[in-house]
Structure 1
């Protein structure tokens, strides 16, 4: 019998914990060739999530948990679960049931047919605010246009992986993690199963628009140097434009004399160049900030208790 580890990061999911586990048990009751081991990662929850996990563990020795010392984020939670679980196959799921455990048998079929990774990709974003859907779709278009690491539109972290893939992902030790890019970067034979979006059962998502925007920017910075190329190009255009304007002013003054200069145009040019410089500094600063965080070599997570 082969072992299957389900990794479930949780942040304030006390109502969803028993539901996701019940769905997993229901699914694996039909998979007699696999032994389910469940790893919950309590990522700094302020409700009774940990208590709900401990209640499950008290009646099932195959339930384990990692209690983080504080909220480190979902990326750190996934890394913690993958690092501690030992199994033949691994699966990452959200606790809110937006990742249907009923898809796991089809994913395992894909693994049996020679794939190393079988993931899930949403075909729609029903239930999400239109603005969030628009920017999400825009993000996928931009990052796939500027990055050599393809990111599948609608792809979830929900996927089944072999041990070899997990070891490859864990070998990438950067502290600022963008898992969608990491899963793609390591390669391996991958397949995605389409499914319609499922709304969360209970509670509210901890991902707001700003956190998603920052996550998207991190993805662009991590997997592309296109922003640096962009500001270099803008700087070159600005320099050439200024040189041409200078030549024009000199020639005009030589032919027509030096007319009184208007301050509005001067102020506009100064603001434009100043804004361009701030944009360039901000983009370069983002890359330098990532370097600063990485060279500290801080741990990706700190566990208060692993059981």
Structure 2
């Protein structure tokens, strides 16, 4: 089947751009047939139909310049636009492209996990599809890996096109999590990074459901390095991480690696109990001496409301930890695949989801 017929499901401008790209790879050269992959590039994709043609074009240029065989693993996280059709067309046109399709939206971190599970490269790069992280920075990560680093972080020297609120909350989050945990996540780093094969195999052994991949790759250890790059504006579309998802992501990061919120509840409980133990004798003494300065109910009501509010807050924190335990003991799969395209080689070390 010719590439043009494969693209009948793709619409509008994206279809035309993709057809032009597919023509150039209509007859893949033998070098594109992966026998022993050196580099795997994992790209989580969610409703990125507008960005995919440009992403593929730039990825091809990067892969052609690397010193070994490459595979591009595109993980469709339950997209609802034209993304699935575009991914299938790319895979049919280029033997280096592999596609994993989720049965529904399982989330960005699970998409990364699936890509790592199926990656066959000696070095695995994780990068988002929105092109804020430029594919052209991948050779910098590879150079550090070739110098012996096993985890190479891409650190944002500048963040173009992001609001002051997003920049400030991101900076605060990394500082908070580094203080609350024993991890040291490089400031202004994201999911864009390179992992050595040994690190990927170690990550596959970690099957927790509430995943904070940025923390897990630091927690594993190994030799780590970083490179700096300029984070670009989004190529097309809107961010898939609204404030609500960012707050949930931050909660997953803190609760996955720190018990400090629970310890804080215990500390405040001891402080409140100590104040009560000191306050009761003082009130009794004032009452017996005939001097009682606490007229009315306002003070009592305020104290009860304050303590009640604090208790509810910490009950919620305890509930967050209990909810995570509940999700773990159910032992459900981390993700469910509806399709695997382009994986012609046998990969016996793929873990169960």
TM over 0.5, shorter chain: yes
Say yes or no: does 1:11 pair with 2:46: yes
Preserved CA contact (<8 Å) 2:161 2:234: no
TM-score (normalised: structure 2): 0.84
Structure 1: any 5+ residue segments left out of the alignment? none
Which residue does the alignment assign to 2:120? 86
Moved more, 98-107 or 221-230: 98-107
Which residue does the alignment assign to 2:281? 247
Secondary structure in 2 matching 1:34: coil
Provide the C-alpha distance between the structure 1 equivalents of 2:308 and 2:70, rounded to a whole number of angstroms. 59
Say yes or no: does 1:45 pair with 2:98: no
Which residue does the alignment assign to 1:63? 97
Which residue does the alignment assign to 1:236? 270
Secondary structure in 2 matching 1:120: strand
Provide the C-alpha distance between the structure 1 equivalents of 2:200 and 2:40, rounded to a whole number of angstroms. 11
Say yes or no: does 1:100 pair with 2:134: yes
Structure 2: any 5+ residue segments left out of the alignment? 1-35, 342-353
Task: Measure how far apart 1:280 and its partner are.
Answer: 1.5
Provide the C-alpha distance between the structure 2 equivalents of 1:3 and 1:18, rounded to a whole number of angstroms. 24
Secondary structure in 2 matching 1:66: strand
RMSD: 1.4
Preserved CA contact (<8 Å) 2:155 2:189: yes
Which residue does the alignment assign to 1:27? 62
Provide the C-alpha distance between the structure 1 equivalents of 2:37 and 2:90, rounded to a whole number of angstroms. 22
Provide the C-alpha distance between the structure 1 equivalents of 2:317 and 2:148, rounded to a whole number of angstroms. 42
Task: Measure how far apart 1:90 and its partner are.
Answer: 0.8
Preserved CA contact (<8 Å) 2:37 2:120: no
TM-score (normalised: structure 1): 0.96
Preserved CA contact (<8 Å) 2:177 2:254: yes
Provide the C-alpha distance between the structure 2 equivalents of 1:276 and 1:42, rounded to a whole number of angstroms. 42
Work out the number of aligned pairs and report it: 306
User: After superposition, what is the alpha-carbon deviation per residue over 1:263-301, rounded to whole angstroms, capped at 9, x for unaligned?
Assistant: 111110000110111112111111111101111111110
Provide the C-alpha distance between the structure 1 equivalents of 2:77 and 2:292, rounded to a whole number of angstroms. 68
